Amino acid sequence: MINNSLTGKKHANHLWNSFKKQAYLQAFVLIGILFLFVFSYIPMIGLIIAFKDYVLTDGVKGFFTSPWVGLKYFMEFFTEVDSGMIIRNTFGISILKVIFTFPVPIIFAIMISEVGPLKYKKVVQTASYLPHFISWVVVYGLVFSFFSNDGVINSALKSLNIIDKSLPFLTDPSKFWPLAVISDAWKEFGWWAIIFIAAIVGIDPSIYEAAQIDGASRLQKIRYVTLPGIQGTICVVLILTLGNLLGGGMSGSNFEQSLLLGNNLNREASEILQTHILKVGLVQLRYSYAAAVGMLQSVISVVMIFGSNFIIKKLSGTGLY
């Protein structure tokens, strides 16, 4: 008993000593925690208005004084004319992005790590992540110039006599999802490849040498050395991607894309939860409703992050925590 308490005390002392040793580093962490607390946790108090009949003029006080309405706004969302369409689009675009845009940076990272000349490698890598720094507003302009009736794509297809009439890339609902996925993959694959390239660089070169001695081909080296070597990174990025599934996965670009590339003609494919929140909630000043729909999305995201972490940990032994 006495022994136990002594061990406990010793352990606490040890913790405190190592904490003191890392005082400066811990100060940095504290700033991060404070940042999260102030900007992520305190605003969560506002979620209360999802269950209340909140009016903006009541200010912050109204968060607590306005009358309770239970699940009224959640029910309202599910009985909206367009709720089915909005849910379908949100999940549809998000799942397609995970399926098609998640593997691209991994494949690209492997390809680039297999390239010999360093100069060429650097140029390609830099060029690949430059689009990440272009805002979606500018990308919208580029997409419009490329895909409009008189745009580069339609003009090229017409001059090659492949089509007679311009293809309605920007107005046809059936073309919105592919447009969103392709433009997102183009904009973000280079940026996300950085983390995978770093993981590949971290693999011990002696393993490649051993594989080579064993007579492994280039593809076999990728299959048996590179991929297992970056498995942990892939798992972590996948969990984070699934956590932000409804926001657009890795890039979180669903909102910007739907707002800018979406229009009244392709609305049945482009309207998603976030644009709905903006239009009905903020433009119509219905904050309680907006909070309720926003909360729904957050709850789904939390479930996704815990769920994906649990499943991936079971399957691969790697997880976030």
Partner 1 sequence: MKIRMFSTVLPLLIVLSMVMTACGSQTGNQTANTAGETNSADAGSTQLEPITLSIFVNMDWYWVDSFGGRPVDDEITKRTGVKLEVTKAAEQDNQLAILISSNDLPDLVYNGTKKLDPMLIKQSYSYNELIEKYAKDFVVEPEVIANNTVEDGKFYTIKNNYSTPEEWRADNPRLVASPGSPTLAVRQDILQELGNPAINTLADYEKVLGMVKAKHPDMNALALGPDQYGERYFKMLFGIKSGESEIFEENGAIKFQARDPNYINAYKYMNKLYRDGYIEAESLIYKYEDFQQAVNNGKTFSAARSADLYAEANKAFEQAGAPYKMAILNKMLTEEAGTVNDGIGWAGLYITKNCKAPDRAIKLEQFLRSDEGQKLCVWGVEGEHYTLTSDGYPELTPKMAELAGDYTNMVQKVGNMAWSFAVTSKPEGVWNYSENERTQWLRLSKEKIKDFKPVYSFLVPTDNIEETAIYSKVVDYEKTQTVKLISAKSEEEFNKVYDTMIKNFESMGLVKLETWMTNKYNQIKSRFN
Tokens of 319: 């997880």
**Amino acid residing at 114:** E
Per CB under 8 A, the list member of 283, 299, 302, 315 interacting with partner 1 is 283
Return the half-sphere exposure (C-beta side, CA atoms, 13 A cut-off) of residue 197: 22
Q: Does 155 bind partner 1 (CB under 8 A)?
A: no
- Torsion angle in degrees (nearest 10) through CA of 88, 244, 296, 311: 90
Residues 202 to 231 in contact with partner 1, rule: CB under 8 A:
none
What does the alpha-carbon distance between residue 99 and residue 95 come to, in Å, rounded to a whole number? Answer: 6
> 178: which 2 tokens?
């592919």
Among 7, 17, 126, 263, binds partner 1 (CB under 8 A): 263
Shortest distance in whole angstroms from residue 267 CB to partner 1: 6
- Which stretch, 127-135, 148-156, 302-310, 313-321, contacts partner 1 (CB under 8 A)? 148-156
By CB under 8 A, how many residues form the interface with partner 1?
29
Dihedral over Cα of 149, 154, 159, 165: its sign? negative
Residues linked to residue 68 through DSSP beta bridges, in sequence order: 52
Question: Which one of 15, 55, 99, 315 is in contact with partner 1 (CB under 8 A)?
Answer: 55
Residue 160 interacting with partner 1 (CB under 8 A): no
Instruction: Classify 5 as helix, strand or coil.
Output: helix
DSSP letter assigned to residue 149: T
Residue 187 interacting with partner 1 (CB under 8 A): no
Phi and psi torsions of 68, nearest 5°? -75, 140
- Beta carbon of residue 52, minimum distance to partner 1 (angstroms, whole number): 12
Asked whether position 148 contacts partner 1 by CB under 8 A, the answer is yes
Contact track, partner 1, 79-108, x by CB under 8 A:
--x---------------------------
- Find the distance separating the first CA and the last CA of the chain, reported in whole Å: 32
The answer to whether 57 contacts partner 1 (rule: CB under 8 A) is: yes
Residues that bind partner 1 (CB under 8 A): 53, 55-60, 62, 81, 144, 148-150, 168, 170-171, 263-267, 279-280, 282-286, 289
